[in-house]
Amino acid sequence: LPSPVLLKDMKLMDVKLGQLPSWLAMRDFTPGGIAGAFRRGYQRYYNKYIDVKKGGLGGISMVLAGYVVLSYIWSYSHI
């Protein structure tokens, strides 16, 4: 039998709705923790879409689409 995973080591998608408040309480919301989360997210994105043997336009097009949406939101304050 696989050993049970501790709540603090679970991914967000594996956490049940009743466990969500205690899971969030275990997260690191310091500036260093938030920076580490962004760093890990960037590394996952880079390894999945950019640093591949046979890549396509998927990763780059997602970055460009995000940039277009953000620049549109920043340009129009009425949104």
pLDDT at 58: 78
For residue 2, the Cα-to-chain-centroid distance in whole angstroms is 27
| CB neighbour list of residue 5: distance below 8 Å, 6 or more residues apart | 14
Give me the domain span that covers residue 25. 7-77
In a domain, 1, yes or no: no
In a domain, 41, yes or no: yes
For the full predicted model, state whether its pTM sits above 0.75.
no
In a domain, 12, yes or no: yes
In a domain, 64, yes or no: yes
State how many domains the chain has.
1
pLDDT at 2: 61
pLDDT at 70: 92
In a domain, 43, yes or no: yes
